[in-house]
Amino acid sequence: MSMAGIKVPIVVIIGPQSEIFSGLRRWLSQALPRGVAGSFRTIGEALDSSLFAAQPPDLAVVLREYSDQYSPADVSRLIGRMIFSRVLCCSSAWCISDGRTHDVWPAACRTEAGSAEARIMHELQGFLQQKPPLSPIAAAEEVFALHAAAVESATQAARAGQSRAVRAFVMSADVPLRTTLQAVLRTAGVQAESGDGEVLAALLQQTAAATLPELLFVDLDGLEHLPPRLIEKATDKTIRIAALTGFPGIQRPSWADELLDKNEFSLQATSLLRRWSA
């Protein structure tokens, strides 16, 4: 297909280099047809650049590690300059309580680091379809609808990216939680089962290697220990493991490949499935 007539989005990244966001930076550079147009350490540096002087970019991705990293004045300046474009602030786990305390970023411009890929892809799809960005003063219902649409888009992409059925298991002592997460995975086209640690231990002991789950989601909250066979599987990378938690600041266990937030599971899990099935 000819690229003539197809507008390529101009995307910039704002925020200092950090290990926290290194994976997101790498993914973003690879996901864009022409890569990232510019990378700036601060909002002021971005706004004073020749790139912004010519015209605002189509999407500004702001990487925020801690709560007061950007001043309210700079945030207001950026949003005002990008009023007809898209601004997305991707926050680390250290900023998880800001929505209830002193967050200066409008809800329409916020996303968590773990779900950033799905949200960015949804914003870029909106750009390509010439849909206007969500207003920074959008109501809570509009923000919820936007997040729901991003989940659906990520789910469809994950399902489309799988050339075969993927098997998964959700390990948690919390029955409502594990059945909910199991349902989310099944919606994404994954053959998902669930149970507590004893059920998983029995499964690992009795199931043939060819039919073991390929993906494992482990609830860290209230977890006392892992089944011994699982530690073996984690060591030899037979199973890919994503740890789950609802508490900010928890470090990723050495045996886990990813750390996901329970509150953002729908977005994060579908992004993960798309990446792991690519």
Q: What CATH homologous superfamily does 11-138 map to?
A: Response regulator (3.40.50.2300)
Which phi and psi angles does 18 have, rounded to 5°? Answer: -150, 145
Sequential pLDDT tens for the chain (278 residues): 333 445 778 999 999 998 888 888 888 887 787 789 999 999 999 999 999 988 889 999 999 998 889 999 999 999 999 988 999 999 887 776 665 555 688 888 888 877 788 888 888 888 887 888 877 777 777 766 766 666 666 555 544 554 445 788 899 988 888 888 888 887 777 888 888 888 888 877 765 555 678 888 999 888 877 777 777 766 666 788 888 988 877 888 888 888 888 877 877 787 777 766 55
**Domain ranges (residues) in the chain:** 11-138, 163-276
- CATH topology identical between 11-138 and 163-276: yes
Q: 171 is written with which tokens?
A: 């390990």
DSSP class per residue in 164-219: SPEEEEEE-S-HHHHHHHHHHHHHTTEEEEEE-HHHHHHHHHHS-GGGS-SEEEEE
Residue 109 makes CB contacts below 8 A (sequence gap 6+) with 79, 87, 88, 89, 136
DSSP 8-state symbol, 78: H
Contact by Cβ (8 Å): 16, 41: yes
The reported pLDDT for the residue numbered 1 is 35
The reported pLDDT for the residue numbered 5 is 45
Nearest alpha-carbon partner for 78 in 88, 68, 69: 88
163-276: CATH, from 3.40.50.12780, 3.20.10.10, 3.40.50.2300, 2.40.110.20: 3.40.50.2300
Counted residue by residue, the chain has a size of: 278
The reported pLDDT for the residue numbered 162 is 47
**Residue type for 144, please?**
F
